[in-house]
Amino acid sequence: MSSHEEPLVEARDAVLSFGQTPALQGASISAAAGEILAVTGPSGSGKSTLLHCLAGILVPDAGGIWFEGRRVDTQRETERSALRRDRFGFVFQFGQLVPELTAEENVALPLLLARSRRASALAEARSWFGRLGLDGLEGRRSGELSGGQAQRVALARALVTRPAVLFADEPTGALDSVTGEHVMNLLVDSVREEGTTVVLVTHEPRVAAYAHGEVVVRDGKVTPLTVGPVAS
């Protein structure tokens, strides 16, 4: 993040242990509005734990989490849940679609949970299918989709509420390199159009190359690595 830009989402000296096992040891990280930030590091280093703290899923033992200048980790679970529903989007390694729902119902799910009318939620969901190359797949269930198609549906579901922050945890980890590149290009194009901030956890250098900046997590501590243009 550039020094003149105010952080949209930020962790300051976050400390978290699971029992006697330390996961984060004074981790600090921040991302500005519209920035794509890659969080890299070896397996077990604390990358996903840090992402879950930023998203208000986990609460650190010490330190703090901020979003839009407001403290998140001191909020009640109901407040953090509303934040995740209304302002954050999520994409995980295996998509985690609901198998009983059609593709368009999966995309519409966050809107339905926010009490949007079903007809308007489905209409908004369908608008993403053309943008992500999914035309004609609206009625299919997850078992009828390829890995790349399912991950694009998951991306549409994450973006349908037009979140301020998209948290992506190994979004291409279950895909081959060509399909993963396609999904990342779509992600970058979509978030650029929407002005979405992205915090991207990955262990793949080719995926991290899509980010404006990169930090490395090792043993629960964060080291800034690079700042540069997004790969095209």
For residue 1, is pLDDT > 70?
A: no
Sorted by where each starts, the structural domains of the chain and their CATH numbers stand as: 7-223 (3.40.50.300)
Taking Cα atoms as reference points, which of 77, 88, 17 lies closest to residue 46? 17
Relative to beta strand 197-201, strand 165-169 is: parallel
**Rounded Cα gap, residues 128 and 194, in angstroms:** 13
**Rounded Cα gap, residues 106 and 95, in angstroms:** 11
Check if the beta carbon of residue 46 is closer than 8 Å to that of residue 24. yes
Q: Which two tokens stand for residue 182?
A: 């396609």
If you average pLDDT over residues 129-155, what whole number do you get?
Answer: 92
User: Which of 23-37, 127-141, 180-194 is the least confident region?
Assistant: 180-194
For residue 116, is pLDDT > 50?
A: yes
* Side-by-side strand order, sheet with 70-71: 21-32, 7-18, 62-67, 70-71
pLDDT of residue 183: 87
Relative to beta strand 36-40, strand 21-32 is: unpaired
**Rounded Cα gap, residues 159 and 153, in angstroms:** 10
Mean pLDDT of the chain: 91
pLDDT of residue 174: 84
For residue 114, is pLDDT > 80?
A: yes
